[in-house]
């Protein structure tokens, strides 16, 4: 047999596609005049089959689970890639399944509350430090998704609409705008709340700012003002007259974990527009009242 045929048979044997002996037996049965053609076809066919088997093997190999919460570092704290971060910014995520979030241990809050892992850890450190000074810090609210915020907003909207039903003067759009602005004194439109991010907490929010004006509440607020920044927490909704900011009224109970939240604020400006703020009562007013400019960014300028 020609030298080229012998070499081809050796290659077939090397590929372990079939044994040398079996190939020779097959060739003997073929027309001698067409030996070269048969060998070529057999070689190409088996080689193709080998490639297909290898490809199938690769496809059937279990793929490593993609971590949808994989993060990138930007000068320190970790933050999500833009494709995933947008869902967090708008509150369109499930905290119970998102590995960025953890359930805060029950003794640090008055109900089941989720926060970003780093935020929870830093709060616990702050809680323990406050405890040494006889201060008890309890979280009243943490991460809140779009649907929870929508429930709060729509409830307030319906209640306000009932109050103005008897008022037949003026255009409906002006009435709705007035309602929205009234709710926005202390409540965010869905998709614009910092609580979506898992970076912000409410502390002892029982009677609003009045709780922190005397007694136990005053001591807690004074301790937070003096020490919270050591753990990354800051009051972003400060006195509007003093800081000349827009948006919500002062909230002494609301504290934001700035190492992550300030990066989210910048990302919000890059990724979110008014087309994303929809799906709740009065959402068509968001652009007119400048919900992004006046409220999302209506924080103390030190934290923008």
Indicate which CATH number applies to the domain containing 161.
3.30.1380.10
Task: Work out the number of other CB atoms within 10 angstroms of the CB of residue 208.
Answer: 14
Q: Is residue 59 part of a domain?
A: no
Number of structural domains (the chain) is 2
Pairing state between β 200-203 and 139-141:
antiparallel
Q: Is residue 63 part of a domain?
A: no
Task: Compute CA 60 distance to the chain's CA centroid, rounded to the nearest angstrom.
Answer: 31
DSSP string, 124-160: HHHHHHHHHTT----EEE----HHHHHHHHHHHHHHH
What pLDDT is stored for residue 188 in this prediction? 98
Among residues 33, 48, 63, the one where a domain terminates is: 48
**CA-to-CA distance for 77 and 58, rounded, in angstroms?**
37
Determine the pLDDT at residue 77. 56
Q: Which domain holds residue 10?
A: 3-48
pLDDT of residue 206: 73
Same domain, 240 and 111: yes
Q: What pLDDT sits at residue 60?
A: 41
CA quadruple 35, 36, 41, 43: dihedral sign: positive
Model pTM? Answer: 0.74
Structure tokens at 289: 């009242």
Rounded CA-CA distance 118/103 in Å is: 12
**Can you give the pLDDT of all 304 residues of the chain as single tens digits?**
444 444 554 454 454 444 545 455 545 555 555 556 555 545 544 444 444 444 444 444 333 333 444 444 445 556 678 888 999 999 999 999 999 999 999 999 999 999 999 999 999 999 999 999 999 999 999 999 999 999 999 999 999 998 877 665 556 778 899 999 999 999 999 999 999 999 999 998 778 999 999 999 999 999 999 999 999 999 999 999 999 999 999 999 999 999 999 999 999 999 999 999 999 999 999 999 999 999 999 999 888 8
- Judge whether 233 and 255 are in contact, CB under 8 Å: yes
Distance CA 98, CA 68 (A): 8
Are 11 and 80 members of one domain?
no
Q: Name the phi and psi angles at 206, rounded to 5.
A: -100, -55
> What is residue 49's predicted lDDT score, i.e. its pLDDT?
47
d(CA 193, CA 89): 8
Q: Is residue 67 part of a domain?
A: no
What φ, ψ does residue 144 adopt, rounded to 5°?
-140, 120
Question: Measured between alpha carbons, how far is 41 from 44 in angstroms, rounded to an integer?
Answer: 5
Task: Look at residue 223 and tell me if it is in a domain.
Answer: yes
The answer to whether residues 299 and 249 belong to one domain is yes
Same domain, residue pair 155 and 12:
no
Quick check: is 202 in a domain?
Answer: yes
Shared-domain flag, residues 19 and 127: no
Residue 209 and residue 118 share a domain: yes
pLDDT value, residue 28: 53
CA 117, distance to chain mean position in Å, is 12
Confidence (pLDDT) at 52: 45
Helix, strand, coil in percent for the chain, rounding step 5: 55, 10, 35
Locate all alpha helices (DSSP H) within the chain, ordered by sequence: 3-14, 20-28, 35-60, 82-90, 117-132, 146-164, 172-183, 215-227, 240-243, 258-271
Burial of 13 (0-12, 13-18, 19+ CB in 10 A): middle
For residues 104 and 184, membership in a common domain is answered with yes
């Amino acid at each position: 047999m020609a030298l080229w045929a012998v070499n081809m048979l050796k290659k077939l044997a090397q590929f372990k596609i079939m044994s040398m002996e079996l190939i020779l037996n097959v060739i003997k049965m073929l027309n001698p005049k067409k030996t070269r053609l048969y060998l070529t076809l057999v070689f190409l066919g088996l080689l193709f089959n080998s490639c297909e088997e290898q490809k199938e093997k690769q496809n059937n190999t279990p793929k490593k689970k993609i971590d949808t919460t994989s993060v990138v570092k930007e000068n320190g704290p970790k933050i999500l890639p833009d494709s995933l971060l947008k869902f967090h910014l708008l509150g369109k995520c499930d905290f119970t399944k998102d590995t960025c979030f953890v359930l805060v241990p029950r003794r640090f809050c008055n109900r089941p509350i989720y926060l970003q892992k780093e935020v929870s850890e830093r709060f616990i450190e702050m809680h323990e430090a406050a405890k040494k000074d006889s201060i008890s810090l309890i979280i009243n609210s943490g991460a809140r998704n779009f649907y929870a915020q929508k429930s709060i907003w729509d409830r307030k909207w319906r209640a306000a609409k009932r109050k103005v039903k008897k008022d037949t003067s003026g255009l409906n759009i002006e009435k709705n705008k007035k309602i929205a602005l009234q709710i926005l004194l202390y409540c965010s439109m869905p998709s614009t709340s910092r609580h979506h991010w898992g970076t912000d907490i409410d502390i002892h929010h029982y009677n609003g700012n009045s709780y922190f004006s005397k007694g136990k509440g005053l001591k807690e607020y004074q301790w937070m003002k003096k020490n919270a920044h050591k753990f990354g927490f800051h009051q972003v909704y400060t006195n509007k007259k003093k800081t000349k900011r827009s948006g919500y009224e002062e909230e002494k109970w609301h504290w934001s974990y700035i190492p992550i939240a300030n990066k989210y604020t910048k990302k919000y400006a890059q990724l979110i527009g008014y087309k994303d703020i929809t799906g709740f009562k009065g959402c068509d007013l968001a652009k007119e009242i400048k919900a992004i400019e006046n409220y999302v960014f209506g924080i103390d300028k030190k934290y923008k």
